[in-house]
Structure 1
């Protein structure tokens, strides 16, 4: 009788699922380091066949037409900009992953969400694995986020957090962060792929079984990607990214994945000394004050579904060296270089012997092709000392032939410009860059003549 040998242990990559018979430090498929872990093997205890074939009454497969969504209405989080990104509110049982760079304000935002939800009558459990309750209390005092229905817990053990959920019976759970929570059932330190996968899967299972929305904070790597296994983003229902420049107080939250709504919405916030504030209308944040100066032009940018004016400024001076400088901030440097070449070749405006500085106002990034025409008009105005009137906005993409091409959602941009008081929008209707510049020259001279008329 032949002897049966036990099967060798299998190792699997947590990123791509590649399997191997022995451990390797690097995955042979996706070439990631430290993602190959030993796969759990069955202990040999089988469930009865009757149990496996008899699902629970609430899990019986039903026609999709008989399933209603009335049992899980959306609930507002109390923060309108956050609800906008989520698609209208928090869905019961949803697992939401919020990522962002260190210090951008993730904990401050979620503490505000927790406080507003508590004020709305829903009990909230804020489980912080990175700060003590006293530290969270100090931040809550500074931001005005104190409420009796907001419960704090400083725990790094997953089982203890689940025990707090049973004791508190909250309507919303916030875990900050998933990389600092560990499960005693899995070997390894907190933050390792196996631990992150187990903690996230357990929290998501609790959310689905209890119709309990859970917001999980995720760290990011130096490349801006969410740390941990890629499986984490597949498991959750919503993936949001909180971003912003540390040099400015402006913050944006975007939905990278949303099973309950669109992914093209953007929430706008402003960081202040007393916490974080919503900016429902950020129109005035990206415009300079005072009269129009040569080298400025307003463009209508599109952040998600939200159109907002962004002022593009350009400064040109005679180059002091053989290689003219090109300094760009807030815009795409390669597109600025292309626009300068189009200006010189197609519009007859020389830029090769000038140092060119181009920037946006307010620290906003405006990298879409719709900024081409505004960049060209700002640079041309700086060279010819012609001011683009404040009543004119520009939206258009430039081709290498000097043609002004239409951009996405042009009608929405024009309607937003009209709402904000812009009397004219220079766009693809000008057909060519030369015609657009001539149009602005004419309006600039008319405005300058009006301004020169002495008052009565």
Structure 2
């Protein structure tokens, strides 16, 4: 084995340590690792050299998808599970990753599909107890409790299941490697061998991954590059609603989300997603409604704000579900264009329902809610605010605006504030504003 240094952010490899990664520029991310350089005793098959071919001349077969029967889960995966698909799912401890995987096994078992559930963290008794609580009764689920990745690979090759699950990738290891489970070397080599196995056999594999305190899957970023799909399980720890988000998908659209509710019988899909993001209270001060796009669907969300005189030396700026830097930028735009003094005020912004979003469509709703809180007056009833706000205070149109408007009209909203530069069909319920000064005047 040879010693190398491996960047946990971008996967760059180098022979010497440095405080800063030469590739991505991240500080303190180069970790010492080992590379397997020994020769394999197995005979190597000589493969014929491949030659370049024109893409239009290549033959291909349309891949079929394996449906789980749960619409929200199939939607996140791009329409179902593809043969040989490698999926990495991450989330905070206790959020429901293992519960979801056990329920997935039950969903597939009901379709007479054999599932191999490999656990490296829990005993067979623990999993049996949870399966009894979740009413998992399928006879097509096989359990293997081991920390040895080679045993898992052998079980997959011998049993040839329709679906395999490894919970979790940080807990399993290859004994022949001189490294602890969860280290860079083990994660890279274990994932690589599992990848080759399931691709050759055409078996879809789910890998459960731990997350860091920043909420990202623990371990090197190269694992996310190796897999086909990366899913994140989001939601507040004590909230009953959970969000499954696809941040990478080679077989479907990214940023697609599925909504689930945690019950005493496990996770069930949410039939009407718009209900969980609204408080259902009319005319609240500091509250505005917006419409965002997540993947291929639009959602109505509620923005809550609170502006209050600061009791401390440094005013607080707290954003829940939003980027902190986005809030700072919008506050600067508000002060610059409307001459509103916020330097001695605490500002709190929250997206209800536990959703997190970076959609610029929220900008106009956030500013409207802040104006409402500062004036201590509620906004116009049944109004929706959809628009991106530039640094000079101009309101810009957002993508797929027709979808936004159609969704809000279906739900009975009577006024829709959008950019005056947007090209949409004339509608008496649509109010166009040029900048936030025009928005301020329209809200009086």
TM over 0.5: yes
Determine the structure 2 residue equivalent to 1:259: 250
Residues 115-159 of structure 1 show CA distances to partners (whole Å, capped at 9, x for unaligned) of 101111101111111111221122222222221111112111223
Partner Cα distance (2:394, 2:47) in 1: 66
Determine the structure 1 residue equivalent to 2:436: 433
Check the 8 A contact 1:299/1:311 in 2, yes or no.
Answer: yes
Partner Cα distance (2:33, 2:149) in 1: 23
Unaligned stretches of 5+ residues in structure 2: 421-432
Check the 8 A contact 1:10/1:19 in 2, yes or no.
Answer: no
Which deviates the most, 185-194 or 331-340? 331-340
Matched, 1:412 2:403: yes
Check the 8 A contact 2:304/2:349 in 1, yes or no.
Answer: yes
Check the 8 A contact 1:27/1:36 in 2, yes or no.
Answer: no
**Residue in structure 1 matching 2:219, options 228, 246, 261:** 228
- What secondary structure, in the 3-state scheme, does the structure 2 residue paired with 1:35 have? strand
Matched, 1:17 2:8: no
- What secondary structure, in the 3-state scheme, does the structure 2 residue paired with 1:427 have? strand
Residues 157-207 of structure 1 show CA distances to partners (whole Å, capped at 9, x for unaligned) of 223223433454311000111121122332333223222223222221221
Residues 318-357 of structure 1 show CA distances to partners (whole Å, capped at 9, x for unaligned) of 5567766555433344444444454455346555565544
Check the 8 A contact 1:189/1:195 in 2, yes or no.
Answer: yes
Matched, 1:184 2:151: no
Structural mapping, 1:151-230, within 5 Å: 151-230=142-221
Unaligned stretches of 5+ residues in structure 1: 1-8, 442-456
Structural mapping, 1:2-401, within 5 Å: 10-14=2-6, 15-19=11-15, 32=29, 34-42=31-39, 52-53=46-47, 65-70=57-62, 72-317=63-308, 326-347=317-338, 351=342, 355-401=346-392
* Alignment length (residue pairs): 423
Greater share of strand residues, 1 or 2? 2
> 4+ residue stretches of structure 1 with deviation over 6 A?
24-28, 43-46, 59-63
After superposition, the Cα gap between the structure-2 partners of 1:202 and 1:325, relative to the gap in structure 1 and judged at 3 Å, is closer
Shift of 1:315: 3.5
Shift of 1:222: 3.0
Question: What RMSD, in angstroms, separates the aligned Cα atoms of the two structures?
Answer: 3.2
Check the 8 A contact 1:336/1:372 in 2, yes or no.
Answer: no
After superposition, the Cα gap between the structure-2 partners of 1:63 and 1:185, relative to the gap in structure 1 and judged at 3 Å, is farther
Check the 8 A contact 2:33/2:185 in 1, yes or no.
Answer: no
Shift of 1:388: 2.3
Partner Cα distance (2:20, 2:151) in 1: 34
TM-score, normalised by the number of residues in structure 1:
0.82
- What secondary structure, in the 3-state scheme, does the structure 2 residue paired with 1:184 have? coil
After superposition, the Cα gap between the structure-2 partners of 1:420 and 1:407, relative to the gap in structure 1 and judged at 3 Å, is same
Shift of 1:41: 3.3
Check the 8 A contact 1:252/1:266 in 2, yes or no.
Answer: yes
Residues 204-239 of structure 1 show CA distances to partners (whole Å, capped at 9, x for unaligned) of 122122111111112223333333343322322222
Partner Cα distance (1:375, 1:87) in 2: 31
